[in-house]
Amino acid sequence: MKNKKFWKYFKEYEWSNIFAMIRNNRLDPKICNDDFKNKLVVITGATSGIGYLTARKYASMGADLLCVNRSQEKSDALKDEIEGEFNVKCDYRIADLSKLDDVHKVGQELSHTNFTIDVLIHNAGVYLTKRESTTDGLEKVFMVHHLSSFIINYYLVEKLKAQDKARIIVVSSEGHRFAAWGLRMDDLMWEKRRYSGLKSYGSAKTAQLLSILIFDQLFNGSGVTINAMHPGAVKTETGRENGAGYQWFKKHVIDRALRSPEISAEALYYLGVSDEMDEVSGKFFNLTAMEEPAPPALDMETARELWQISLDLGRLNTQTEKE
């Protein structure tokens, strides 16, 4: 069964947007040289890849860090490295973002803190070639990419609005275009269809972008902005959960065509710090070039429907009633 909105999206696609994506994939990010001293940046998945380099970039510019990672050992090593090299504070929280209890714990803790969060970067991610269920019975890619960031953002809405200023950046992907005909709202967990790594990834990234549309409305006029960015075609450790065949293909074929993830860190710093981004919200960037996402990622009707489903899947209705 195709998405019921197949023809609606089909009519909305424009070749100019595809050409813009191809052109932007060749560009270098804009650079911001302003320092970020005495500011706090929260980053998920900061012990490797894009998250690690982004943590180092912000620390090198004077920012303190609060990292949300899975590994205690790697977090300790990151803390020692950052604090020893850059003379800033690097704290961390241990959480598995595929587990609802861990995500709720992080969201609640961040929302109840008395310190200011200047930039929040949702970077943690996963790519799977075979479907996996989390301990909560959710499809893992959808949980890690969409629901975890959705839940944390939801908890932080009032805190960030009360600050008068903050920036949220979601590391999304041009891969949202793999969900070319939109989300299957009757099968978000991939229980009724043959699983596809690319399509499940595209669906989760589309869900991210749809949630940003609603959060942008909630933050309107508050001084809080929320944007998404494609981190460029860069080498990362995403997909390390997959088998030997995928690992060989990634190393010998995919990675050879990719750029250094340092450009992603530069882009994330620009989006988080540059004065040019002060009033920009609800947008999608390829590194630092603003782009038009695929039509399914701009569908407000689906965004509202997904919002309600995400509240239920994320157990936010139950949690907020308890508080």
What does 146-178 look like in DSSP terms, one character per residue? IIHHHHHHHHHHHHHHHHS-EEEEEE--GGGGG
Tell me the residue type at 265: A
Between β-strands 40-44 and 119-122, what pairing exists: parallel, antiparallel or unpaired? parallel
Rg, Å, the chain Cα set: 19
- As a whole number of angstroms, the distance between CA 81 and CA 85 comes to 6
Single out the catalytic residue among 58, 154, 155, 201: 201
Tell me, what DSSP letter sits at residue 145?
I
- As a whole number of angstroms, the distance between CA 25 and CA 103 comes to 33
Token pair, residue 270, equals: 């620009």
**SS3 call for 68:** strand
Residue 235 Ramachandran class (φ > 0 left, ψ -120 to 50 alpha, else beta) = beta
Our answer to whether residue 92 is catalytic in this structure is no
HEC profile for 235-304?
A: CCCCCCCCCHHHHHHHHHHHHHHCECCHHHHHHHHHHHHCHHHCCCCCCEEECCEEECCCHHHHCHHHHH
Between β-strands 289-291 and 284-286, what pairing exists: parallel, antiparallel or unpaired? antiparallel
Tell me the catalytic residues.
Answer: 201
